[in-house]
Amino acid sequence: MTTRGKRVKPGTARDSSAPAARRSRATTKRPLPKAVRDFVGAARVCRIATTKRDGEPHVIPVCPAFDGVDTVYVDIGPGYVTATNIEREKRVAVLIDEYFDDWSKLRRVLLRCRANRIVGAERDRAWRRIRRKFPQYKEINWKPRLTLALRVYDWREEGVAGKR
Q: Residue 141: what pLDDT? A: 86
Question: Are the C-beta atoms of 152 and 28 separated by less than 8 Å?
Answer: yes
pLDDT at 20 over 80: no
CA–CA separation, 138 and 135 (whole Å): 5
* pLDDT interval class at 52 (50, 70, 90): very high
- Strand 46-51 versus strand 57-62 pairing type: antiparallel
- Strand 71-76 versus strand 65-66 pairing type: antiparallel
pLDDT at 8 over 60: no
Q: Which amino acid is at 96?
A: I
Q: Residue 163: what pLDDT? A: 58
**Mean pLDDT, residues 127-156:** 94
- Domain 26-158 part of CATH 2.30.110.10: yes
**Mean pLDDT, residues 106-130:** 97
pLDDT at 10 over 80: no
Domains of the chain, by residue range, sit at: 26-158
Q: What is the dihedral of CA 97, 98, 103, 104, to 10 degrees?
A: -90
Q: Residue 29: what pLDDT? A: 78
Question: Are the C-beta atoms of 74 and 92 separated by less than 8 Å?
Answer: no
Average pLDDT, the chain: 86
Least Cα distance to 137 among 66, 63, 71 occurs for: 63
Least Cα distance to 31 among 153, 125, 117 occurs for: 153
Q: Residue 94: what pLDDT? A: 98
Residue 162, Ramachandran bin (φ over 0: left; ψ between -120 and 50: alpha; else beta): left
Question: Are the C-beta atoms of 161 and 33 separated by less than 8 Å?
Answer: yes
* pLDDT interval class at 23 (50, 70, 90): very low
Q: Which amino acid is at 149?
A: A
Say which residue, 149 or 18, is predicted with more confidence. Answer: 149
CA–CA separation, 124 and 141 (whole Å): 15
Q: Residue 108: what pLDDT? A: 97
Q: Identify the DSSP state of 33.
A: P
Q: Residue 62: what pLDDT? A: 97
Q: Residue 28: what pLDDT? A: 57
